[in-house]
Amino acid sequence: MDCLFCKIIAKEISANIAYENDAVLAFHDISPKAPTHLLFIPKKHIARLDDIEEVSVMSELYAAIIDFANQNEYRKAGFQTKIHVGEGGGQEVFHLHIHFLSQKKL
Ligand code: AMP
């Protein structure tokens, strides 16, 4: 499958990894829009949010985000999460991902 983020998961393409567990990988966005800009992705390939068959995928992604944020003390600075869905929704890479943005640098 010709998927950029699957290649990052397979370590065929390098990325600056910030968080990883069995189900989720997070790495720095190559074109950051904030002092911290990460992408949280499921290790299982799902092209877009509305392709999800088991909503537990979203629990795993948000559990990872909360774990990452608490471990790295983002509570005071706060952060935003954002999902682009489909070309009309601004999605450019068709492997589900949640943008994590904060004014606090990691
Ligand atoms: P989206 O518009 O929601 O599909 O976001 C895709 C994001 O992937 C953009 O913010 C890109 O800057 C980012 N991106 C594209 N290629 C890479 C890469 N090789 N490593 C890290 N981030 C990437």
Q: How far is the CA of 76 from the centre of ligand 1 (A)?
A: 26
Taking the CA of residue 4 as reference, the ligand 1 atom at the shortest distance is 19
Domain 4-102 carries which CATH code?
A: 3.30.428.10
Q: Rounded mean pLDDT of 16-25?
A: 98
Which of 11, 29, 85 is the best mutation target for the ligand 1 pocket, counting ligand atoms within 8 Å of the beta carbon and taking the most? 29
30-56 pLDDT, tens digit per residue, is: 999 999 999 999 999 999 999 999 999
pLDDT at 72 over 80: yes
Calpha distance 71→54 (Å, rounded): 27
pLDDT at 1: 73
pLDDT at 28 over 90: yes
Q: Is any ligand 1 atom within 6 A of the Cβ of residue 29?
A: yes
pLDDT at 8: 98
End-to-end CA distance of the chain, in Å?
32
Question: pTM score, two decimals?
Answer: 0.98
